[in-house]
Amino acid sequence: MKLFVGVLSIFLTIAGCINVVPSTPQLIAPRTDQTLASYLLQNHAIVTATDPNLSKQCFNIYLPLLQDAAEEWSSDYNSCLTTASQQRDYYIEQMEDQRNEITTTATGICSDINACIATNQTLDFFNCFSALSPEVIGTVYTISNNASDDAATLMQEFNLLEANMYRCTNVSERTYVQQTTNVYDALDYCLQNGLPSTLSTEATEGTSITSPSDDDVSVSTVSGGTTVS
C-alpha cells in the first residue's frame, strides 16, 4: 500500500507540472493528472503487486505518451473553440452594414420627431406630427422587418456554428479516449508481464516499442515525438 501511495504522489506531482497556458479563459488545459489518478485508483492492486523497479520503468515509458495525448487533446479542443470564436466574430462583422443602415434610419426618425417637438406654434406642432405619423409608421415597419430578417440569418449561422463546434470537440474527445485507452492497455501489460520484448532498458529515440498483448497495442517514439496506435 505504501508503494501505491508513493507512486500516486510522484506521478500526480509530475502531471501537475504540465502547464499549458490558454490564450482565453474558455480554453481547456491537458488533463493527464485526472486520467492518471483515475487509473492508479482503479488499478492499485496491479501497481502494488509490481516490482518497484519494473513499475518505474513502465511508467517512464508510458507516462510521456499520456502527456503527449493530453496535450494533443488540449490543442485540438482549443482549436475547435478558437475557430468557432473567430467565425462568430466574422458573421457579426458581416452584418455591420445592415446594423449601420438601421441605426441611420432610426436616428433620422428621431430627428424628425424632435423637430416636431421643437415647433413653437401649437397648430404647426399638430400639423407636423399629423404629417409625420404615416411616414414614421412605414419606416418603423421597414426597420422591424429588416431587423427580423437579419436576426434570423445571424441566428441560423450561430446555430450551424455551434453544431460544427460540437462535432469538432467530440472528435478530439474520441481521439483522446482511444489514444489513452491504448496506452493504458500497454501499461497494464508492462506492469503484469514486464517490458515489451523489443525494448531495451536504454531505449533511445527511434526505438520502436511493441507490446505483445492480445490487443496488439503498439507505441512508437520517433525523433522527438511519440505516436500511439
Each residue's pLDDT expressed in tens, for the chain with a length of 229 residues: 443 333 333 333 333 333 333 333 355 555 555 566 666 666 655 565 566 788 888 889 888 998 999 899 999 999 999 999 999 999 999 999 999 999 999 888 888 889 989 998 999 999 988 888 888 888 888 999 999 999 999 999 999 999 999 999 999 999 999 998 898 888 888 888 888 765 433 332 333 334 434 444 444 433 334 444 4
CA gap 159, 152 in Å, rounded: 10
CA gap 180, 74 in Å, rounded: 13
Q: What b-and-e string marks burial along 123-157, b requiring 16 or more CB atoms within 10 Å of the CB? A: eeeeebeeeeeeebeeeeeebeeeeeeeeeebeeb
Distances (CA, A) of 62 to 82, 87, 186, 221: 30, 38, 8, 11
Cβ count near 101 (within 10 Å): 13
**What predicted TM-score, i.e. pTM, was given to this entire model?**
0.61
CA gap 217, 210 in Å, rounded: 7
| Count helices and strands in the chain by DSSP H and E runs | 6, 3
Cα angle: 127, vertex 129, 133; to 5 degrees: 125
Say what the pLDDT of residue 41 is.
60
**Cell numbers placing 140:** 418603423
Q: Which are the contacts of 2, defined by CB distance < 8 A and separation ≥ 6?
A: none
Domain ranges in the chain are 2-228
For 204: left if phi > 0, alpha if psi spans -120 to 50, otherwise beta; the answer is beta
Say what the pLDDT of residue 224 is.
38
Of 108, 97, 95, the closest CA to residue 138 belongs to: 108
Say what the pLDDT of residue 164 is.
95
User: Contact, 206 vs 222, CB < 8 A?
Assistant: yes
User: Contact, 210 vs 189, CB < 8 A?
Assistant: no
Say what the pLDDT of residue 55 is.
81
